[in-house]
Structure 1
Amino acid sequence: MKPTTGQAEEEGVIIIAEAGVNHNGSIAMALSLVEKAKQAGADFIKFQAYIPGEMVVQGESQYRMLESLALGEKEFLLIREKCAEEKIPFLASVFDEKSLALMEKLNAPAIKIPSGEITNLPLIKKAAATGRPLILSTGMSTLGEVEAAVLAAEEAGNKKIALLHCVSEYPAPLEKTNLRTIKTLQAAFRYPVGFSDHTEGYDAALLAVALGARIIEKHFTLAKNLPGPDHKLSLTPGEFREFIEKIRSAGEALGTGRKTVTAGEKAVRAAAGKSLVARVDIAKGSVLSPDLLALKRPGTGIPPQYLPLVAKARAARFLPKDSLLQWSDFILEGKGENEAGNETENNRLN
């Protein structure tokens, strides 16, 4: 499964369990998140890869918090092993070049560029140069900044790109989610588009799927009451399982877009559709004028759209009132009786 090229619509939406920093710096919690994400049915689990000193000025208040939540190479090796054991691929958002190099070393199947790095074109170019698929989150950015990021990746020779619409508020109010941006991104860039969901609940993600989102990313935690910046807006394992079920159902409901008669509709169509019938007793040789014909259920005979054609024919035999007409019951203008009978095969309902 390739998270950036998008699956065929029939295969469904890719769902990423965003563990982020909800491991609270504990490798045991990180491994438990992997296990629970797999059990919930997620396609991928994603963490955050960063080196505090490469990411934040040490004097900043967030430095200490980020330092306590950072995972190093040793921890990511254990996560990769656990993901292999559970058969769920892992991803990581990269915030600096050293973390990008680590993800390449660990053979991550794709590189995630978080919203805060969307204008970090040097990082995007280096990520693109790895040749791995890129997932670009677009929170806190303008369309022009997204365009610059996409061009940077393309100039580095990488067109395996997916874009995630995102509103970087925690939580993001539903009324500010602006989900029509998904269509804007689809039209502007012709790459698969998904949704990184920071809202509470399921509604925004379900609407995103209806708008064509091919990837859904949602925060995931072991418990909402744990200390940390993202637990409260995240889904618990039970909630995430229910969330995935709803996303899968929404994807199935969207279907393929091809307008056809379903197998179940065929029986209903036979009962509820209408056919050409004799309105009165019709003598052999009579011209089947419209006043001699009616349209009635069931829909197992000649469909109503053939009324203009049949109304020009002559009855090949006596037709009793309310009998469903068959193609062999009349002779079309200019055709012999045998030719008229062949219409039965040529005009059979699908």
Structure 2
Amino acid sequence: MSTFIIAEAGVNHNGDRHLAQRLIDIAADAGADAVKFQTFQADRVVSRHAPKAEYQTQTTHQTESQLEMVRKLELSASDHEVLISHAQSRGIQFLSTPFDVASLHLLTQNFGLNTIKIPSGEITNAPFLLEIARSAKVLILSTGMSTLAEVEAALGVLAFGFTTDKAIPQPGDFERSFASDQGQQELRERVTLLHCTTEYPAPFAEVNLRAMDTLAAAFGLSVGYSDHTPGIHISLAAVARGARIIEKHFTSDRTLPGPDHQASLEPEELHQLVQQIREVEQSLGDGIKRPTPSEWKNRDIARKSLVAARAIRKDETFTAENLTCKRPGTGLSPFDYWQTLGQRAAKLYPIDETLDV
């Protein structure tokens, strides 16, 4: 099973539909499985009093508010229609992350998207999680900034939404749904957890890839990694540790204005990421330790045989002084060394001649 690679366009289109189409082309050309955007109505998501994150202040106008910044990054319903059609024409799956209920319904009801990516910031937004569970078939849940207990609580909401149509949950309903056999089955079939460090760029010392293993062990779900680090090597390490999904921000040009460009891959880097993930997948193999087809031709060349350390006369006794081990490995195995000592040579062995098998 190959890793599902999500090229995260996010808001790197800067509100420009044509740039968004260009990002789809870049993702398709790189060989990514999906290209993902963000769908939101700014006034439904951000209050007038919400501050920017530190990295956003550093990469955008310092005087504008978060709401003003986000408003410029919206994509309209007609934009979505054009982009979804373009993605289909390029043979790449279109995904998006909704940040409000209206945007969720736009994706699932208007455009029929089956898969929804839930961002880390919504993991405690229980009403929204419940609506997502009842609107989408497949969910990818990022877990940045979260404790294990918060992840379990979010999964409880999703399990409740998967298994019941009760409008108003009562105390204990989420826990019971999470613990139920049906809830666990639905979670296994429909949810993938992404480990994530929510900082842009994420410091290597704070990546903690082993937490991905912890998520898999704790919940028995497929896991992956949403990578905000510079470069591509941490994504490759995550694949080697078992990530089933890799998500990585990319842009057409890291020097463009906007909050996420500087922490994103450029086109050639995205291509390298996809190519090298596929190479890592090939390298993982089936886990059975055995000679590979290409190794068989090298075995005799690299291994050694028992050979005459000096000329050995016929009927001379084999000793530690007249035997040694040298390449190639076409003669008697060095494993037979001790059994050969004390025996008599059946013929003359010139120096370096291998003993007969």
TM (norm. structure 1) is 0.78
Equivalent residue, structure 2, for 1:213: 243
Counterparts of 2:320 and 2:198 in 1: how far apart (Å)?
A: 66
Contact 2:332 2:354 in 1 (8 A): no
Q: Distance in 2 between matches of 1:236 and 1:226?
A: 11
Alignment partner of 1:94 is 2:84: no
Give how far 1:267 is off.
2.1
- The within-5 A match list for 1:116-155 is 116-130=121-135, 132-155=137-160
Q: Distance in 1 between matches of 2:21 and 2:329?
A: 60
Write the mapping of 1:1-350 to structure 2, written as runs, cut at 5 A: 8=1, 11=2, 13-60=3-50, 61-105=65-109, 106-130=111-135, 132-155=137-160, 156=162, 157-159=186-188, 160-275=190-305, 296-301=326-331, 303-305=333-335, 318=346, 320-321=348-349, 322-326=353-357
User: What displacement does 1:31 show?
Assistant: 1.0
Q: Deviations over 1:293-328 (max 9, x none)?
A: 8655332345444668x769x99x9455345434xx
Cα deviation for residue 252 of structure 1 reads 3.2
Q: 1:224 to 1:266 in 2, by over 3 A?
A: same
Q: CA deviation at 1:290?
A: 10
How far is the alpha carbon of 1:22 from its aligned partner?
0.9
Aligned partner letter, 2:150: E
- How far apart, CA to CA, are the structure 2 residues paired with 1:240 and 1:79? 20
For 1:95, the aligned partner's letter is F
Shift >6 Å, 4+ stretches: 286-294
Helix, strand or coil: the match of 2:261? coil
Residues 305, 354 of structure 2: 8 Å contact kept = no
* C-alpha RMSD of matched pairs (Å): 3.0
- Give the structure 1 partner of residue 173 of structure 2: none
Q: State the shift of 1:28 in Å.
A: 1.2
User: Is the 2:226–2:248 contact (alpha carbons within 8 Å) kept by the matching residues of 1?
Assistant: yes
Question: Which letter does structure 2 place at the counterpart of 1:56?
Answer: V
**Structure 1: which 5+ runs fail to align?**
1-7, 327-350
> Does the 8 Å contact 2:155/2:187 carry over to 1?
no
Structure 2 residue identity aligned to 1:228 = G
Q: Deviations over 1:1-49 (max 9, x none)?
A: xxxxxxx2xx3x3221111011111111111111111112211100011
Post-superposition Cα deviations, 1:237-279, rounded to whole Å, max 9, x if no partner, equal 1222233333333333333333221223222211122345688
Report which stretch shifted further, 107-116 or 210-219: 210-219
The 1:306/1:120 distance shift into structure 2, 3 A limit, reads farther
Separation of aligned partners in 2, 1:102 and 1:260:
52
In the superposition, the TM-score normalised over structure 2's length comes to 0.76
- Cα distance in 1 for residues equivalent to 2:121 and 2:243: 21
Read off the aligned partner of 2:151 and give its amino acid letter: V
The 2-side partners of 1:304 and 1:119 are apart by 65
Q: Is the 8 A contact 1:50 1:94 kept in 2?
A: yes
Equivalent in the alignment of 1:330: none
